[in-house]
Amino acid sequence: MNRTPSNTQGVVLTRTNFGEADRIVTFLTRDFGKVSVIAKGVRKEKSKLAGGIELFSVSDIGFVAGRGELATLTSSRLITHYGGFLHDLAKVDFVYGALKVIHKFTTDDAGPEYFILVQQLFTALNEPRLGLDAASVWWYVQLSNVTGHALNLESTTDGEPFTDGQTYIFDGEHAGFTVNDTGNLTPNHIKFMRLALLHGPLVLANVQGGNVLGADLAPYLKTFVEYQF
């Protein structure tokens, strides 16, 4: 058995107390997909591992393969803790739900794009100028894209270009938008989602009226993503 530690960056997806002082932790890592480890003695007061298994954080971790499914955590060092949103219960609930979806959907060999996505979500929620609705639009658009359920943001469901002055409704069945005279979505909403797809979430904080656009879009995208997963 290879006892050479593997080193990478990771974010915590789940933590479960085990025994008197240990924890079983599942990390989403940059280089090794999902990794479940036993962090021995981590609940003791002077544990050197405790700082690197905090929720809503990115940490350097080292681990060695175990005899079963669990590896053993050998080192952990906190890099960044995204604690700026912890006072906002709505954001905390949202990120818990997002991590649950990632944990459920990803396989053990998940690619680095999922780690990057979660790290960017932490950054988005930590930015006070970016409301939860706008941040969630970024998350839903990116998650749909990376999982192969990308939204059609180039044309309507009829293949027509989006036109100024026209209104649209969201068509979840076809992952796109349909012309409707009573629709509440406009080309500005489509442009907002294109920005969400092509850029990191903090770009959305600079969009005038972005939080209002996000509030209009978030319920539709939430329903779409929940249907997919």
CATH of domain 6-81: 2.40.50.140
Instruction: Please list the pLDDT of the chain residue by residue as tens digits (229 residues).
Output: 457 789 999 999 999 999 999 999 999 999 999 999 999 999 998 899 999 999 999 999 999 987 778 999 999 999 999 999 999 999 999 999 999 999 998 888 999 999 999 999 999 999 999 999 999 999 999 999 999 999 999 999 999 999 999 999 999 999 999 999 999 999 999 999 999 999 999 999 999 999 999 999 999 999 999 888 7
Look up the pTM and report it: 0.92
Residues 33, 109: contact at Cβ < 8 Å? yes
Structural domain spans, the chain: 6-81, 127-228
